[in-house]
Amino acid sequence: MDFSITSDQKLMQDSLSRTLADASPLDRVRAYAGDVSDQGADVWAALRDFGLPGVLIPEQFGGLGLKLLDAALAAEAMGRAVAPVPFLGACALAPLALMRAGSADQQTEWLPAMASGEVQGAVAISEPIAGARDGAGVMASGGRLTGKALFVEGGLTAGLIVAADKTGGLHLVRGAAKGLGRSAMTSIDQTRRLAELTFDNVEAEPLAGGPGALDALRDAGWTLLAADALGAGDVMLEKAVAYAQERKQFGRVIGSFQAVKHMCAEMAAELEPCRALVWYAAYAFDEAPDEASLTAAHAKAHTSEVGRFVARTATEVHGGMGITDLLGLHFWFKRIGLDRQLLGGPERVRAIAARIQGLAA
Amino acid sequence: MDLRLTPEMEAFRAEVRGFLEAHRDHYAQGAGADRPREAALAWQRLLIDHGYAARTIPKAYGGYGAEPDILKTRIISEEFNRAGAPRGFANQGISMLVPTLLEVGSEEQKTRWIGPTLRGEVVWCQGYSEPGAGSDLASLQTKAVEDGDDFLIQGSKIWTSTAAQADMIFCLVRTEPDAPKHDGISYLLFSMKTPGIEVRPLKTMTGSAEFNEVFFTDVRVPKSAVVGGRGRGWFVANATLKHERGMLGDPNATEARLGQLIELMKTETIDGRRLIDDPVFCDRLMALQSRVLAMKFNGLRTLTSALRGEAPGMAGLVVKLQGCELNHQIAALAIDALGELGVLYEDGPHLRAKGSWQWNYMFDLGLIIGGGTAQIQKNIISERGLGMPREPKLAKA
């Protein structure tokens, strides 16, 4: 019985954090956030050198062949660094779609290119999971897709799109396909860009896997978003504690006032158990499939709630400085804000959690 | 991460199951407090003989004498819960006094007290808190004044759970009035039958007296009753408080409570509709399930630290605060989901679960306060866990 991450996993996570600290310090994040033409190519190149795009892809296709728990530890590092890269789609969900639902030919064609980071994949799966808004949704017929998909992380530039249709079937669409339209959806979080994709009778290849594959993408997506929020929340708490030990008022550091200490203690008390929940959800994805969907739902819903609490409380501990652009704390605040809403907010995810265990119709 | 058990542990689990199966007639008729006293004592002896109680206490002192093995302890706990079999006694004598004596007691004290305590022949109560010394326990004022070979004790204690049934008390008293407050305390063991002790039940909001007040007037106790040295009582007691905090907020108990709440919401109806089919209540239930799972996995994480002999760190510091709050919220949701029925109490044809949800809601609030208040827990989390400074001491006026 061992409920912990291995020293290799810890080493990998620390090494990734150092890579991100070098390649993407806050000034670099700020530059990316302020310039939509900035593709973050240098940050992506550093992650390619690290091998991260292939974290989940089997070694036979040039990847690292690791598990979702390893990807979750990487996602936590992404959240810590507010990294300006489309990690979720390109390094995790698009490869997983091909691994779980692709034919041998499809895997051979795409997995090596995704593992090397040469091709960035993106997944358009929001509608069947988080619900269809503004008439979005994709219809598949005769090898063609028609309709639109919203909230596609990394969708503006992806070389390959995995799109879910209204029945939950998955399809591959090449980035250069005729009739594929892309436009930016500006969100609070400028470290990860979202796209609206339009499909006008676009050529597509079906992926063989059915609704089971979409469920797996949902579970992995929920877990990785939770891990991202956990990493971002950890940083906000650390920054709040550091600030409270430095800032003086009434002749004392504010961290010696119980009113401030207790805010920090409450953040820690809420955040620390999320770590075990995220680890377990990620572990279950590969090792305890019967529990994977339920624990992923709880990891997503709960870490979203805790994330919101930590984001506002850590900002408050910083006083007026907390809300300034200069300090940059808002990058983490907004990162947590997007993690919460993407692929369904807590209420929607909890309703699905009740259905998963047969408690609701 | 590897949650599989080794073949040795699986074999141990089978052994525990075999024992519980073979002795089903010992406990099938009901568990815990309803059991007749003689049968309870016999069951306790049987558990000690097989290593399912007092497992790691040395044989010389009446225990089973096994090497500490946290995983085996957990397997025992899981299998007893699964079978609905009563566990070994977990009173304050066993969970707090025995570990303290093992750590700092004299050979004579260990030999005399540990065995009978483990077997349930001697029942203890804890004399720590006073009306004027709660969170600031070290300011306690109950005095023990030297009189020849004895101390004469004056003062009072409060929140003494089992004082009425107890044979003995482990008690903190001030023996050195001129020493700084942490250095003037001694830890004494004495009989509750000693002349000059009066026990008054302390009725709480639940309607029953889960606690007592204890008054001492010229209570004569030999100086040999001190544990761990005169003036060392504060440090002796801190070793014990650590054991108490570990008991509060147990995630397995919380998970069992959530299971009862789910069952309630699946079976109770209002206007012919199941409580769980109300989306607001269902959402609240799922939010609590998130928290219960988080604390359960957090428990597996701290267990892993313990197996390795590592300190659990922040994951351990948050357990009392979060676990007690969670129990309270589970009871609150049960009351809310039951609607008007949720207020019924004590007796009556419409009463559900003997009124236990309301009882728990009130009693659990006491546990949020007791054993180190939520606010003290937050001080501990911020100071020991996050490295934040202590509140500066007020200058003496």
CA distance A281 to chain B (A): 10
Per-domain residue ranges of chain B: 7-88, 124-231, 248-385
Count of helix runs (H) and strand runs (E) in chain B: 14, 10
pLDDT confidence of residue B303: 87
Measured between alpha carbons, how far is A343 from A124 in angstroms, rounded to an integer? 10
Q: What is the pLDDT of residue B397?
A: 54
The active-site residue, picked from B176, B244, B255, B383, is B244
A170 touches chain B (CB under 8 A): no
Tokens (6 digits) for B380:
């501990």
User: CA B143: distance to chain centroid?
Assistant: 27
The packing angle between helices B279-307 and A258-287, to 10°, is 90
Q: Do the Cβ atoms of B389 and A245 come within 8 Å?
A: yes
Q: Give B-chain residues touching A4 at CB under 8 angstroms.
A: 1, 301, 304-305
Q: Chain B contact for A344, CB < 8 A? A: no
Q: What is the ipTM of this complex?
A: 0.96
Joined together, the tokens standing for residue A79 give 């959240």
By C-alpha distance, which of A314, A103, A130 is closest to A213? A103
B315/A276 CB distance under 8 A: yes
Topology match between the domains B124-231 and B248-385: no
Under CATH, which architecture does the B248-385 domain have? Up-down Bundle (1.20)
Instruction: List C-alpha distances in Å: A320 to A3, A300, A327, B309.
Output: 40, 30, 10, 44
Contacts with B372 from chain A: Cβ below 8 Å: none
Instruction: Report d(CA A282, CA A9) in Å as an integer.
Output: 13
Nearest alpha-carbon partner for A175 in A124, A105, A102: A124
Structure tokens of A67?
């598990």
What is residue B5's predicted lDDT score, i.e. its pLDDT? 86
B269: CB partners within 8 A, 6+ apart: B275
- What percent of chain A clears pLDDT 70, i.e. is strictly above it? 99
| Range B124-231: architecture per CATH | Beta Barrel (2.40)
Task: Label the pairing between strands A121-124 and B197-202.
Answer: unpaired
- The pLDDT assigned to A210 comes to 63
The answer to whether residue A102 scores a pLDDT higher than 90 is: yes
Q: CA A106: distance to chain centroid? A: 24
Q: Do B303 and A1 touch (CB under 8 A)?
A: yes
Q: CA of B283, closest CA in chain A: separation in Å?
A: 6
d(CA B262, CA A274) in angstroms, rounded, equals 22
What is the secondary structure of B327-346 as a DSSP string? Answer: HHHHHHHHHHHHGGGGG--S
Nearest to A277 among B297, B382, B386 (CB): B297
Which parts of chain B register pLDDT below 70?
28-36, 240, 242-247, 396-397
Domains assigned to chain A: 7-116 (1.10.540.10), 121-209 (2.40.110.10), 212-356 (1.20.140.10)
A102 near A112, Cβ under 8 Å? no
Best CA proximity match to A181, nearest among A148, A220, A152: A148
Q: Do B1 and A2 touch (CB under 8 A)?
A: yes
- Angle, helices A289-317 vs B279-307, to 10°: value is 90
Query: Catalytic residue at B244?
Result: yes
CA pair distance A229, B54, nearest whole angstrom: 43
Q: Rounded to whole angstroms, how far apart are CA atoms B396 and B249?
A: 37
- Residues A229-277: tens digit of each pLDDT: 999 999 999 999 999 999 999 999 999 999 999 999 999 999 999 999 9
Rounded Cα–Cα distance for residues B304 and A318 (Å):
35
Would the pLDDT of A114 be above 70?
yes
Q: How far apart are CA A131 and CA A127, in angstroms?
A: 5
- What whole-number distance in Å separates Cα of residue A316 and Cα of residue A236? 11
Region of B210 (left: φ > 0; alpha: ψ -120 to 50; beta: rest) is alpha
Q: Which amino acid is at B61?
A: Y
Q: How far apart are the first and last CA of chain B?
A: 56
Whole-number Å distance between alpha carbons of B382 and A108: 52
Collapse the DSSP code of A213 into the 3-class scheme (helix H, G, I; strand E, B; otherwise coil) and give the result: helix
- Inform me whether the pLDDT recorded for A344 exceeds 60: yes
Contact: A258, B375; criterion CB under 8 Å = yes
